[in-house]
Amino acid sequence: MNPAERMNPADLGIGPVPAKARLRNRLLVSTVGIAGLILCGLLLWNYLSFREHLTEEAQVRARFLADGAADRIDATLSGLQSLVDGMALSLSATSLDLTLEQMRTLQREALHQQPGLYGTTFAWLPERKPPDWGALAPFSYRDGDRLAYHDLAHDGLDYLDEDWFALPRFLGRAVWTEPYIHYTGKRMVTYSVPVWLASPDGPLLAGVVTSDIELDWLDRLLADLPLGEQGYALLISRNGVYISHPTDTIAMRESVFSLAEARGDPGLRQVGQSMLSGDPGMRPWIGWATGEKSWLAWGRLSTTGWTSAVVISQTQLDREIARLTQLQALAGGGGLILLFLAVGWIARSITRPITALSEAAPGIAAGNLDAPLPAPKGQDEIARLTTIFHAMRDRLKQYIADLEETTAARERINGELRIASDIQMDLVPKTFPAFPERNDMDLCAIIQPAREVGGDFYDFMLLDEEHVFLAIADVSGKGVPAALFMAVARSLLRAEAKIDRNPGRMLERLNDTLAEHNDACMFVTLFCAVVCLSDGTVTYANAGHNPPLWLRTTGSIEWIDSPTGIAAGPMAGLQYDTGHIQLAAGDGLLLYTDGVNEATDPDNQLFGNERLLERLHASQSLSCRETLDALLADILAHTGEAEQFDDITMMMFRRLS
């Protein structure tokens, strides 16, 4: 195919592949997109399940830490409580039968044994004090590293109004006082136990034994609890007063209820009441300082009846979860980018040959078979497809080369056929009028060859001054064989016509000659006649040819359809009868081949005998040439644009007076 015949790929409707339709991009988008969605789903699931899990854990931890704090404080206080309970029991059991010095010794011993004890006293109800005691309320306490002593009644009996004395006195049981600020500035609490003396009227209160305990260690204990960044612990007294609170200005000054009042928050008051109810509990909480969602859990101290509480920030947990999720998202995002690059690389390696193929294929489709195709790599489907493309391209090239060769050969043959056709045409006489010197006859013939060389011919010659020989024939088949067979048949007929003027015998001899070495079984239909110009006698014979028409001066037109025989050539020994008719002056004969009456229009409608007869009727006054021209024009009008498959051959003879 020459380059001029190549097409632009765009003319084939093959444009460049849109970016979004590219295999690589689709692969990337779908793989990374799906992986991204899965990642997002996993992150969400992870976040939610983590949050639920950690929320539950936060609650468990809050409860555990609140109880744990209560237990740890109880562990310390219960030791001191037991000490004082033991002292009270001993004093009671011995009916307080001891001297002041012995009491002070007992107190010093207690202080030695219990480092957590700040001071201890035994305060008499004044009326019970034995006369030999020099003090009403001996108090031993720590003063730095040494132990000190003081009679609390030294300045009067005001101690009787103190809670540490009045509460056990009037409640008749051991009491932990409300925590207070000692004059040393330290937070303290006093545990007071009444000491009873037996009497006939029942037990009589003799006095109260106490222990004073510093509480600053509570802050350290609570601060050491693992409560997270925004978490904190607190301790509240039986009256709801904060004993320990992370905010200094709150501890020992505010109670849950004063804060509730200050904030106008009845809910907080209810929470405080729940916390003082004695039952452990937990509830969602909003951190005061931070405004963060939290969990508040509390437990009760079995010794003092105080409440330890912890606040664990849910928001902080959420932040940690969010941070964790962010880290996961970052890692996932990094993974996604790696996946993107990896998939991109893989997709590129997969689609590169496809892309190269798809870029090269339009060139091939457009006819550029020399366009480079990618070399197949590996053994995968793409390599196979590429190999197939290579083979296809090579086969196509081969085919086109063959086609060019075949076409060239056919062109050459066609050229030769055209020459053969020209020779064939040269064989038939084409000069009219054929016998200008004679006025006793009018003769004209036309041969309109088809596109392909055919086998029609006509012939005429003067046998002598009175006899003229007319013949028309149609050789079977087309092309060179038909042309050659026609040439042979014409030459033989001419020779036979000169030997014997009987048309029947002429055809028999011709047939026999043609049948010899006619392996191809070619044949020829042929009509020949000898006209005696002087009297109008016509002898004729017909070898399977279309019956000629006898155009009488009377206006009638007759078919000369007998005698007739079969076409000449296939087999030897055929007989052809000779017919006779008598032409009057002005009568004419029309000899024609089947290219006339079987001429077809684009709708495959035949020209037909009827139309032939009509045309002839209309042309009776015309000369032979005019008649044939009119007839040919009519036939061509009939066929129109339809291809002419057969030669149109006509010869008309008219006997003139």
Partner 1 sequence: MFHANPAHGFWVRALVLLAGMAVFQPCLGETLQPQDHAAPPAQVRIALQWIPQSQFAGFYLAQQQGFYAAAGAEVTFVHANARRSSLEHLQDGEAELATVFLTDAMVAAAGAHDSPNAAHPVLIGQLVQRSNLMLLAWKDQGIEHLQDLSGHRISLWTGPFSAAIRTLLAERQIEYEPIPQNATVNLFLHGGVAACAAMEYNEYHRIWQAGVDEDRLTGFLLRDLGFDFPEDGLYARSDWLQHNHALAQRLWQATLAGWEYARAHPEQAVDLVLAEAERARVLTNRPHERWMLEHLLASIFPETAGESPTAGRLSPAAYTATAQALIASGLISEALPLTRFCPDCCAEDGPDEPC
Interaction site with partner 1 (CB under 8 A) = 155-156, 158, 160-163, 166-167, 170-171, 175, 177-178, 180-181, 185, 238-240, 252-258, 261-262, 269, 272-273, 276
Closest CA to 306 of 73, 120, 63, 116: 73
Longest Cα–Cα distance in the chain: 203
Distance CA 540, CA 559 (A): 13
Residue 204 CB, nearest distance to partner 1 (Å)? 17
In the bound state with partner 1, the residue whose beta carbon lies nearer, of 262 and 633, is 262
Q: Which is nearer to partner 1, 269 or 509 (CB)?
A: 269
Question: Is residue 179 within 8 Å of residue 243, measured between CB atoms?
Answer: yes
Nearest to 421 by CA among 442, 450, 385: 450
> Smaller CB distance to partner 1: residue 65 or 167?
167
Q: Which is nearer to partner 1, 65 or 215 (CB)?
A: 215
Q: To the nearest whole angstrom, how small is the minimum distance from the Cβ of residue 319 to partner 1? A: 33
Please check whether residue 514 is in contact with residue 553, taking contact to mean a CB–CB distance below 8 angstroms: no
Using alpha carbons, select from 168, 139, 171 the residue that is nearest to residue 154: 139
CB of 166 to partner 1, least distance (A): 6
In angstroms, give the least distance from the CB of 230 to partner 1. Answer: 24
Least spacing, CB of residue 192 vs partner 1, in Å: 12
Smallest separation (angstroms) from partner 1 to the CB of 124: 17
Task: Identify whether the C-beta of residue 241 lies closer than 8 Å to the C-beta of residue 249.
Answer: no
CB atoms < 10 A from the CB of 352, how many? 14
For residue 347, the SS3 value is helix
Least Å from the CB of residue 256 to partner 1:
7
- Nearest Cα to 472, choosing from 290, 628, 350, 245? 628
Residues 6+ apart with CB under 8 A from 650: 445, 446, 590, 591, 592, 593, 596, 628, 631, 632
Least distance (Å) between residue 89 CB and partner 1? 22
Assess contact for 589 and 655: CB atoms under 8 A.
no
Q: How far is CA 238 from CA 99, 250, 260, 519, in A?
A: 36, 16, 16, 138
629: left (phi over 0), alpha (psi -120 to 50) or beta: alpha
SS3 (DSSP) at 539: strand
Residue 18 preceded by cis peptide, ω within 30: no
Q: Residue 578: in which H helix or E strand, if any?
A: none
Residue 54 CB, nearest distance to partner 1 (Å)?
A: 33
- The nearest distance, CB 167 to partner 1, in angstroms, is 6
CB of 195 or CB of 252, closer to partner 1: 252
**Among 217, 277, 214, 223, CA closest to 246:** 223
Nearest Cα to Cα of residue 470 among 449, 442, 448: 442
Shortest Å distance, C-beta 84 to partner 1: 18
Q: Which is nearer to partner 1, 160 or 463 (CB)?
A: 160
- Cβ proximity to partner 1, 169 vs 438, nearer residue: 169
**DSSP assignment of 206-237:** EEEEEEEEE-HHHHHHHHTS---SS-EEEEE-
Smaller CB separation from partner 1, 214 or 512: 214
Least separation in angstroms between CB 252 and partner 1: 5
How far CA 233 is from CA of 65, 83, 261, 506, in Å, comes to 9, 28, 21, 142
